[in-house]
Amino acid sequence: MAYQVSIFLENKIGRLERVTSVLKENRINIQNMSLIHTANGWGILNLLVSCPERACAKLCEAGMSASLRKIVALEMQDVPGGLDGLLTKIASAGVNFTNAYGRVVEPGQKAFFFIDADQIEDINEKLQAVGLTPVNDDLIYGV
């Protein structure tokens, strides 16, 4: 099972940089990121990194509120209609997700689609039942 790191951030100058400086210090590479902002002056930063457990521990040590969150990555073709085809299968598996994001792995060839799996029971079984195999953790973390 793969994990992303989620961090509570206030929308203020220098706050995102506090996170990246901790990662830099610990030589942790970022594979993917998404930042969601709310109208209340704060947001959640989701990071896919080379070693999520260590990243989370280091960020907490530095005084931030961070946690690990289960995700599932699915491979898809990097072509028009690629995501549509994948989503049709995910829907037929009866999997409903909240947060998601994507990453191109080989332009024009291959991409990964990440979905939030924290609240979904037996997600792997459900996906496998419709012929979808989650991407291996090593490939997700890029190690």
Binding site for other proteins (CB under 8 A): 6-10, 15, 36, 38, 40-44, 46, 63-67, 69
Residue type, 114: F
CB of 15 to other proteins, least distance (A): 7
Nearest residue (CB) to other proteins, 3 versus 112: 3
CB of 130 to other proteins, least distance (A): 27
Distances (CA, A) of 104 to 26, 38, 111, 121: 26, 27, 4, 27
Nearest residue (CB) to other proteins, 47 versus 132: 47
Residue 78 near residue 108 (C-beta atoms within 8 A)? yes
CB of 131 to other proteins, least distance (A): 30
- The DSSP annotation for 27-95 comes to T--EEEEEEEE-TTSEEEEEEEES-HHHHHHHHHHTT--EEEEEEEEEEEESSTTHHHHHHHHHHHTT-
Nearest residue (CB) to other proteins, 43 versus 134: 43
CB of 77 to other proteins, least distance (A): 31
Nearest residue (CB) to other proteins, 36 versus 104: 36
